């Protein structure tokens, strides 16, 4: 009888040691897997942010966003919203990302009145939430094109 209780105790200790070892062996790969997924998401967000920047730049080039109507200071600027985009990584991530942006700028008085320095801030999460907000800032220098006056012949 006494021998049996020791065998049972030894089996319980062996199972306990095996469970601890497997937990330690499995935890590191799971941690690295989660971290890799997070880094992939960060990379996709940076790619998305650059695509949004290109869209806004196209709007500026095609004069869909008027430089004259832009606010002079950041405090006066309002968040503008673009349509939501999706980040999809096969089987890992499928998220809908809201996109907001601020744009403001002014022409420097004096020598370089021909040029406007625009500030563009792109936010890939809700801009009103302080926590977890990601935003990217760009500076654009744009040359003003003067209006052509018709000459009478």
What pLDDT score does 112 carry? 60
Domain count, the chain: 1
In a domain, 98, yes or no: yes
Burial 51-67, CB ≥16 within 10 A → b, else e: ebbeebbeebeeeebeb
79 is in which domain, residue-wise? Answer: 2-143
Residues 61, 66, 68, 71, CA torsion sign: negative
In a domain, 119, yes or no: yes
In a domain, 152, yes or no: no
In a domain, 80, yes or no: yes
Q: Which residue bears the tokens 């590191």?
A: 28
Q: Backbone phi, then psi, for 146, in 5-degree steps?
A: -70, 150
In a domain, 16, yes or no: yes
In a domain, 22, yes or no: yes
pLDDT at 41 over 60: yes
pLDDT at 113 over 70: no
């Amino acid at each position: 009888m006494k021998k049996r209780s020791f065998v049972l105790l030894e089996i319980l200790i062996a199972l306990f040691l095996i469970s601890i070892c497997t937990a330690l062996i499995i935890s590191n790969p799971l941690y690295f897997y989660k971290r890799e997924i997070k880094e992939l998401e960060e990379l996709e967000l940076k790619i998305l942010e650059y695509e949004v920047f290109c869209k806004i730049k196209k709007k500026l080039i095609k004069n869909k966003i008027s430089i004259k109507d832009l606010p002079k200071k950041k405090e006066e600027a309002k968040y503008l919203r673009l349509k939501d985009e999706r980040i999809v990584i096969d089987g890992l991530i499928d998220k809908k990302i809201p996109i907001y942006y601020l744009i403001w700028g002014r022409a420097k008085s004096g020598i370089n009145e021909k040029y406007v320095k625009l500030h563009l801030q792109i936010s890939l999460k809700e801009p009103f939430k302080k926590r977890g907000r990601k935003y990217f800032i760009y500076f654009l220098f744009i040359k003003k094109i003067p209006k052509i006056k018709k000459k009478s012949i």
